[in-house]
Amino acid sequence: MIPRPTPTRSSEPTTAEAGVWADVLVRRRLLHAAVLAPTGQWLVQDQPGGPVRVLTGPTDVVELAATIQHRIRSTRPEFR
């Protein structure tokens, strides 16, 4: 499989964009929780009772969403 180049962004992700991605990940049950802390950091938990990870900002949330999407797509059988 040939790796695809990662598209480059013209701007950094915003807190609003990160919030939308966090909401989607929680609603789709791909994360148990994702909470924006007053410091601008994001607290995420994969499953109930699991460890809480601290993400430093919106970029990390968007990168997490991309990683989860990649994992889902790479394990899903392709329908052509």
Beta-carbon-side half-sphere exposure of residue 41 (alpha carbons within 13 Å): 8
| pLDDT at residue number 8 | 73
Instruction: Say which residue, 69 or 10, is predicted with more confidence.
Output: 69
What mean pLDDT comes out for the span 59-67?
A: 96
Q: Are 61 and 34 in contact (CB under 8 A)?
A: yes
In this predicted structure, the answer to whether residue 78 has a pLDDT above a threshold of 80 is no
- pLDDT digits 0-9 by tens, 3-46: 666 667 778 999 999 999 999 999 999 999 999 999 999 999 99
Cα separation values, 11 from 17, 23, 38, 63, Å: 12, 21, 23, 14
Q: Which residues, listed in sequence order, are joined to residue 55 by a DSSP beta bridge?
A: 42
pLDDT band at 80 (very low <50, low <70, confident <90, very high): very low
